[in-house]
Every structure is written in structure tokens, then in C-alpha cells.
Amino acid sequence: MPITHINAKGQTFSLYQGTTKTGKPRYYLAMQSEGTLAQAIPAGYEIYENPNAQVFLRRIPPKIITDAEHQVVEEGMRTYATVKDYKIDVRGNAILIYTAIQEIDALANLFKALYPDPTTNVELMANLRKAVHYSPMLVFQLVDAQRRTFQTQRYCFLGSVDDWIEIGKPGKLSTLVKRYVKHLGQDSNVELW
């Protein structure tokens, strides 16, 4: 049975198998027919979709961040954050929060001539969510695996910096989430040091 994956934009990818120049097996995901369909995901690999719906076959990474820690960030975003459109990704020893670059409600208001209240049109809002791009804005990086303490970082957009900067001191994840996610999408985010 062919292996398929439907990404957040509704695009269907299939897993294909080929060979390298040296004769070794090669696996890749594509939306169009490009050869022999693979019948299984190779051992030690997984299909990974990044926050912007790009799909890859990758080696299964070691699990450093626990499911409970991921859940703390999920619940914190629902409880404390004012941004509605975000995605959470785990990479290595870090939990990244991505926010939509475009404000979806503002995009929806461009359709006022077609819909009386475009933000309540489920189909329109779903299509807009598929079209927006997400950018990483906040990171909780594990700095002490024994104590499970994290360091918070935010992206700095100053022309001379354009990089991640640490904000605050390391601490427990639940405390840091409560303290910092409320600033996402707010002017106060740029004042965090």
C-alpha cells in the first residue's frame, strides 16, 4: 500500500523509492508521480511536516523534549496568548512557537464586499489559514536536562542583530510560558530583554 501524507495546506504527498548513483536506496516525498511508490517508510525514518507545511522524510530524532513539556506550551498558548494563529514545533532540545506573519482577520476583512462578516465564514478562514506563512518568534530551550530548566529566547528584528536573543533567566517551563507567551503579537514583545 502506498504511503501518503496530506499536509496542512491540503496537498497530498506520496513516498517514492529510487536509487542513488552508487545503487543505494533513496526515498523522497513528492506531489506528482515520480517513479516507484514505496510500500513502507524505511526503518528509523519518519514523515515530518514543518510549520509551513513543507514535508520531508527524516531520521527519527532522539526524544529530548517530553510530551508533557510540549503540552505545557500548548496549554499555555491557549490560556495566556492573544495570538490565535500559531504553530508549535519541537526541534532537538527546543520548543519553538511560530506565529502567522499575516494577520488572518485583517486578510479576511479584504473580502467584506463578498461576505457581510468574513471572519465568520468558515471556508474563507480555512483557506486563508492555508495560505499564511509562519515564522518562529519564541523558543524555550532546555538548558539543564536533570532539573528540566529552560532558557527563553525571542527573535530580535533589529537591523544590526536579526538573531535569537535570550530573555530573562532560565527556569521551569510552566513559569516561563506564563511569563512570555502573552507578549506574542504585542508591542511588548520587542521590549523583552
Mean pLDDT of 122-135: 84
What cell was used for 45?
525514518
Q: How many residues does the chain have?
A: 193
Residues 119 and 170 in one domain: yes
Residues 111 and 178 in one domain: yes
Residues 168 and 184 in one domain: yes
Question: CA separation (Å) from 192 to 59, 77, 135, 158, 180?
Answer: 36, 18, 18, 13, 9
Residues 100 and 35 in one domain: no
pLDDT above 60 (res 193): no
Residue with cell 533513496: 26
Range of the domain at 14: 4-59
Predicted pLDDT of residue 124: 82
Predicted pLDDT of residue 116: 79
Compute the distance between CA of residue 1 and CA of residue 138 in angstroms, rounded to an integer: 40
Average pLDDT, the chain: 89
pLDDT above 70 (res 31): yes
Residues 52 and 93 in one domain: no
Question: Between residues 62 and 35, which one has the greater pLDDT?
Answer: 62
pLDDT above 90 (res 162): no
Total number of domains constituting the chain? 2
Predicted pLDDT of residue 106: 77
pLDDT tens digits along 71-92: 999 999 999 999 988 999 999 9
pLDDT above 70 (res 159): no
| Predicted TM-score (pTM) of this structure | 0.84
pLDDT above 90 (res 33): no
Predicted pLDDT of residue 104: 76
Residues 173 and 82 in one domain: yes
Compute the distance between CA of residue 13 and CA of residue 5 in angstroms, rounded to an integer: 5
Question: How many Cβ atoms from other residues are within 10 Å of residue 135's Cβ?
Answer: 11
Can you name the residues that pair with 17 across neighbouring β-strands?
A: 27, 36
Question: Is the separation of the CB atoms in 14 and 4 below 8 Å?
Answer: yes
Q: Which helix (H) or strand (E) holds 15?
A: strand 12-19
Mean pLDDT of 43-69: 95
Residues 82 and 152 in one domain: yes
Mean pLDDT of 160-164: 73
Residues 79 and 155 in one domain: yes
Residues 77 and 156 in one domain: yes
Residues 16 and 101 in one domain: no
Residues 53 and 113 in one domain: no
Residues 75 and 54 in one domain: no
Return the axis-axis angle of helices 67-80 and 173-180, rounded to nearest 10°: 20
